[in-house]
Structure 1
Amino acid sequence: MRIAVAIPCFRVTQHILGVIASIGTEVHTIYAIDDACPDGSGRFIEEHNKDPRVRVLFNPENCGVGGAVVTAYKAAIADGMDIVVKIDGDGQMNPALLPKFVRPLLRGEADYTKGNRFFRPESVQSMPPIRLFGNAVLSFMTKLSCGYWNIMDPTNGYTAARTCVLAELPLDKLEKRYFFETDMLFRLNTLRAVVKDIPMDSVYANEESNLKIGKVLPEFLRKHASRLWRRYVYNYLVRDFNVGTLYSIFGTLLVIVGSAFGAMHWLDSALSNHPATSGTVMLAALPILIGIQCLIAFLHYDVSNLPTEPLSLSLESPAKGDTQ
């Protein structure tokens, strides 16, 4: 298995050489992506780096962390790499954890692994409260929109992926900036890829986060809603039609019919000054209650409908499969 590391480089000249030096010998190639860095990170690496594994890639314009990672993904696929691990260049992701991220991919247990800073209570003690709350909210929205109910910490950028799975993704359509990690999960779910969390500790210095929850929350809500709808249509109407589809359709219809019936009679009662009968109230409430139960059943079905068989097992070549 040929393992590569992707390091987006944007104003990381103070840390990048230390990060490269910390990467173990199990890694075959290191891609350092200069994302139109104003500090010239790429040239700095070329002038000062002594590691022969490093290959500097240059983006002609700033594409954000997602655009930088996609550049490395394409290079890794073209170079015949088997696994790509993404590590930030600011020194906050410990390269010593790399074997933990790669191991489930080597064993054929997952197609994609990502860090989870919420796994142990001790891991979040150093996390600022605003980040803890923001990540918890984003994690729940990601569970809804992406369908991976077994994961947390969706904005965690410490990831590892099989290149045979990456080759099946529309890489050019992935989000380029803060929503990149979440969009990756959405795209992986459409392929039924297996995603696994890797416990890790959070590392924070005194720096201020560039991710402003109040600023990006409206945008994130819109994008999550879009992906939730697209995932539902693809998984429950286009690719499959199952009991979850029936639960969702009948549940929605019953809630709408009950609400409309109740609203109509409530308005008529208010205008005529005659209270609705108990039978009318029950006729309005019963379909709503049954509809809510159906929607809860659909949610339970969706939670249990997680991918379990790694996609890479069917995509990799027979020769590689025989060597594992």
Structure 2
Amino acid sequence: MTASPWKEVTNLKNDVLIVIPAYNEELTIGSIVLLSRKYGDVLVVDDGSSDRTSEIAKEAGAIVIRHERNMGKGQALRTAFEYALSRGYSIVITIDADGQHNPDEIPLLVEPIIKGEADIVIGSRYLNGSKKEIPLYRRVGLWVLNKTTKVASSVEVDSQSGFRALNKSALEKLDLRGDGYSIETDMIVKASDNGIRLREVPISVRYDVPKKHKKNPISHGLGVLASIVGLIGYKRPLLLFGTLSIISFIIAGILGYLALEPYYNGGRVYLTQAIGAGIFVIIGIQLFIAGLTLNVLAKMVGE
């Protein structure tokens, strides 16, 4: 009879590191650390908090590394991964500090790694109906981010989930450079590029947590989207620049119609719209040429 994943995690406790990047999370960090300690060592990376996050995390039994200033989630995770590799941990779990994730679901993420079925496991809110609990504005934003991540990586997952498990092999292969929350998409893209096996498991997510809007959701989402678009431009430049080129030609067509339609009705050409149409045609041509050029360079670099 196969041992339950709960028992497996207990047996592996000394090889598991639970990483909690935190910024001003004194209200929830203590409980997250205490619940997580059942499954392994806990490392809190305090990313320049101005409250008692570090103090409470230490009192709860966590190892704490503190950044003197806020450097973003990307740097917090890189700091944690460097620590994990230097200490030889076999499995690393990342979990958010705000209480959205349930640490008692850690075994669900670890099980596919223990069984040798995956190198990175992502906790997905889309596999067990938790999607229905997501506020509408978040659901729309996540849909956009998930679809653009799929374009960049050819992988469709819950790309913004911060509840993940990675084995040592994945940590060693990943060269993560993403800033802020874009590191979560960067991880998926790099995993796809390096043949690292990805898998999702269902998790629950809470949205009734303290300080759930630490960042403006619109500016946060646009920032992550801009980073993903940058990845698409780097990996698939013809797709990105070709799409922008088509948009430019469509705008040129609309302006051209507005410029000439009065002329065919016995009036005169609208010069401003005509000039605008010409400008967007030139922009469209330049974007298409740029996409072709960068696509050739990307293939040369890849070879």
Q: TM-score, normalised by structure 2?
A: 0.69
Q: Which residue of 2 aligns with 1:195?
A: 198
CA 1:140–1:217 in 2, change beyond 3 Å: closer, same or farther? same
Q: Deviations over 1:139-196 (max 9, x none)?
A: 11111112213x2x2111001111222122224xx22312121111112122121111
* Alpha-carbon distance change, 57 to 12 in structure 1, aligned in 2, over 3 angstroms: same
Match of 1:92 in 2: 100
Aligned to 1:214: 218
The structure, 1 or 2, with the larger RCO (C-alpha pairs under 8 Å, 6+ apart) is: 1
Distance 1:221 1:35, change over 3 A: closer
How many residues get paired? 237
2:53 counterpart letter in structure 1: S
Instruction: Give unmatched runs, 5+ long, in structure 2.
Output: 1-11, 265-303
Paired residue secondary structure (1:119): coil
Q: Which of residues 104, 111, 114 in structure 1 aligns to 2:119?
A: 111
**Counterparts of 1:218 and 1:89, CA distance in 2:** 22
1:197-234 superposed Cα distances (whole Å, 9 cap, x missing partner)? 1111221116543454532455444432332243348x
* Contact 2:102/2:204 (8 A) holds in 1: no
Q: 1:168 to 1:55 in 2, by over 3 A?
A: same
**CA distance 1:11–1:223, change in 2 (3 Å):** closer
1:224 aligns with 2:228: yes
C-alpha contact 2:119 2:169 (8 A) present in aligned 1: no
Corresponding residue of 1:144: 151
Is the 2:72–2:180 Cα contact (8 Å) retained in structure 1?
yes
Question: 1:116, 1:45 → 2: CA distance?
Answer: 26
Matched, 1:132 2:132: no
Q: Percent identity?
A: 24
Helix, strand or coil: the match of 1:33?
strand
Q: Structure 1 residues 146 and 124, CA, compared in 2 at 3 Å: closer, same or farther?
A: same
> Residues 80 and 212 from structure 1, CA distance in 2 versus in 1: closer, same or farther, beyond 3 angstroms?
same
Report the RMSD for the aligned CA atoms in angstroms: 2.9
Following superposition, the deviation at residue 119 of structure 1 comes to 1.5
Distance in structure 1 (CA, Å) of the matches to 2:106 and 2:63: 19
Alignment of 1:1-324 (within 5 A): 1=12, 2-23=15-36, 25-27=38-40, 29-46=41-58, 48-49=59-60, 51=61, 54-121=62-129, 123-149=130-156, 151=157, 153-171=158-176, 174-205=177-208, 207-232=211-236
Show the counterpart of 1:311.
Answer: none
Runs (5+) with no aligned partner, structure 1: 234-247, 274-324
3-state SS of paired residue (2:143): helix
How far apart, CA to CA, are the structure 2 residues paired with 1:222 and 1:14?
Answer: 31
Give the CA deviation at 1:92.
1.8
Separation in 2 of the partners of 1:194 and 1:179? Answer: 20
